[in-house]
């Protein structure tokens, strides 16, 4: 079966075989990996090795902590805002306690996941400023990354004024919108803003598929279940000077508001090397195997090349479809290499549910599954995560070309 689902995704076969062995008898200990004590030196070595491989893959400097935690990308919607607000409050010192209004957080909304992050921030009482909502630049729908000139960023004229973070999602999984290469336009931000405002990225669905400049980010997080491994572990990469604050500091939210839950405080995770409480052992183990496997296959550079080749094949078939397949992402440069989203369109030019159902069935006949679009947007979505091979992608393109020949001849 060729699984083109948006996640959880497939894993490389070599990794699955090694993981199966590790579950039965981990490195001759006579115990499976998930039976070990999470405080044992054997398991600590698993965490250390996963971290070392990830550091090598993404060139993560020592002044960044790598944390393995739980709760998924969704939990990072709140954890990112709470921790960055707390760091901001400690930077401001007594001024934070004296000022009744908490700092703002800026958001770049380019799809459903950033919209959800904003919703969660507001639920928590965070002053979330939507600097730009891409729907307002694309007829009410996601499908573009508006230029920086259209963003209404908060003032960063002084350290006190500056927002606690600027948050974006590098690849919007549902909508198929990815920041155009080479990624977030950091160099186009106003100089004082770029200097003072911590940049936070949700890379859940495209991490390790292209380079990302860790040094220019304050925080990068991703759930494992797309490009990395089984669900259950969420990876947080955070600049250490932003977590070196008192986890019980006041003024995180409005005065008198609740404190950050213990397991969401990055400092607690960092001080305890991701072992503050029982970690998702299996997911960390398999993520480590995936990192090591990628290092053997050309690292991030290799993955970047493969992602370009795979998505190029699929977008090529779309371009050759005489209007049968229409990308849902209007801005060509923002079309995701990970989640290719399109509609199947009738000869009259309208999206056609019947044709889409037939396309899904044609895929199924060749063993390709999970290509229906997200329930909120419909259409077709083919996800080409790192574990999807070029050969598997070629099968999809074969199906697409045969479908075009049938429908448009
Ligand atoms: N962010 C992005 C870009 C995602 O694709 C997802 C899930 O698909 C999430 C966040 C939420 O992740 P989780 O389901 O792990 O909470």
pTM, rounded to two decimals: 0.97
How many structural domains compose the chain? 2
Residue 8 lies in a domain: no
Closest CA to 90 of 242, 270, 253: 242
Which residue among 295, 318, 333 closes a domain? 295
Same domain for 262 and 326: no
- Which of 170, 175, 202, 352 is an active site residue? 202
- The pLDDT value given to residue 59: 98
Pocket flag, ligand 1, residue 283 (CB < 6 Å):
no
Which residue among 251, 274, 295 closes a domain? 295
pLDDT classification of 251: cutoffs 50, 70, 90: very low
pLDDT classification of 247: cutoffs 50, 70, 90: low
Pocket flag, ligand 1, residue 76 (CB < 6 Å):
no
- CA distance linking residue 265 with residue 267, whole number of Å: 5
Provide the domain limits for residue 24.
Answer: 13-295
Which residue among 295, 310, 336 closes a domain? 295
Q: Which of 173, 174, 224 to mutate to test the pocket of ligand 1 (most atoms within 8 A of CB)?
A: 173
Same domain for 186 and 43: yes
| Residue 3 predicted with pLDDT over 90 | yes
Same domain for 329 and 289: no
Which ligand 1 atom is at minimum distance from the Cα of 7? 8
How far CA 75 is from CA of 65, 201, 370, in Å, comes to 18, 14, 25
202 is catalytic: yes
- CA distance linking residue 206 with residue 189, whole number of Å: 23
63 is catalytic: no
Please answer whether residues 102 and 258 qualify as being in contact, where contact means their C-beta atoms are separated by less than 8 angstroms: no
pLDDT in tens, 290-343: 999 999 999 999 999 999 999 999 999 999 999 999 999 999 999 999 999 999
pLDDT classification of 219: cutoffs 50, 70, 90: very high
Residue 7 lies in a domain: no
Pocket flag, ligand 1, residue 113 (CB < 6 Å):
yes
Same domain for 389 and 316: yes
Q: Which of 203, 204, 381 to mutate to test the pocket of ligand 1 (most atoms within 8 A of CB)?
A: 204
- Which of 226, 267, 310, 352 is an active site residue? 226
Q: What's 399's domain CATH number?
A: 3.90.1150.10
């Amino acid at each position: 079966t060729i699984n083109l689902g948006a996640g959880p995704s497939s894993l490389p076969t070599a990794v699955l075989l090694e993981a199966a062995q590790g579950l039965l008898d981990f490195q001759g200990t006579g115990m499976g990996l998930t039976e070990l004590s999470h405080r044992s030196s054997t398991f600590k070595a698993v965490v250390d090795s996963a971290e070392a491989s990830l550091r090598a893959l993404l060139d993560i400097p020592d002044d960044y902590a790598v944390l393995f935690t739980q709760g998924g990308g969704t939990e990072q919607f709140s954890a990112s805002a709470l921790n960055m607000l707390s760091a901001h409050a400690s930077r401001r010192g007594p001024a934070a306690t004296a000022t009744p209004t908490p700092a703002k957080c800026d958001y770049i909304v380019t799809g459903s996941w950033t919209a959800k992050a904003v919703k969660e921030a507001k639920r928590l009482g965070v002053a979330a400023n939507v600097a730009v909502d891409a729907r307002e630049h694309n007829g009410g729908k996601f499908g573009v990354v508006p230029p920086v000139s259209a963003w209404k960023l908060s003032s960063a004229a002084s350290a006190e004024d500056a927002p606690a973070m600027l948050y974006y999602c590098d690849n919007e999984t549902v909508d198929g919108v990815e920041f155009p290469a080479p990624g977030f336009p950091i160099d186009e931000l106003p100089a004082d803003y770029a200097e003072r405002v911590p940049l936070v990225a949700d890379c859940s669905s495209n991490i390790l598929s292209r380079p990302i400049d860790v040094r220019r980010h304050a925080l990068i997080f991703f759930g494992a279940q797309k490009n990395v491994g089984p669900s259950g572990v969420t990876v947080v990469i955070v600049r250490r000077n932003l977590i070196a604050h008192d986890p019980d500091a006041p003024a995180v939210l409005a005065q008198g508001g609740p404190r950050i839950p213990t397991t969401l405080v990055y400092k607690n995770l960092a001080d305890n090397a991701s072992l503050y409480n029982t970690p998702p052992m299996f997911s960390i183990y398999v993520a480590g195997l995936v990192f090591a496997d990628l290092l053997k296959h050309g690292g991030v550079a290799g993955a970047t090349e493969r992602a370009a080749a795979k998505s190029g094949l699929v977008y090529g078939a779309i371009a050759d479809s005489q209007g049968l397949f229409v990308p849902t992402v209007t801005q060509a440069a923002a079309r995701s290499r990970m989640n290719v989203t399109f509609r199947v369109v009738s000869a009259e030019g309208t999206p056609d549910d019947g044709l889409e159902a037939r396309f899904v069935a044609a895929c199924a006949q060749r063993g390709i599954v999970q290509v229906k679009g997200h329930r909120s947007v419909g259409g077709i979505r083919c996800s080409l995560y790192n574990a999807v091979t070029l050969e598997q992608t070629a099968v999809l393109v074969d199906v697409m070309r045969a479908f075009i020949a049938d429908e448009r001849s």
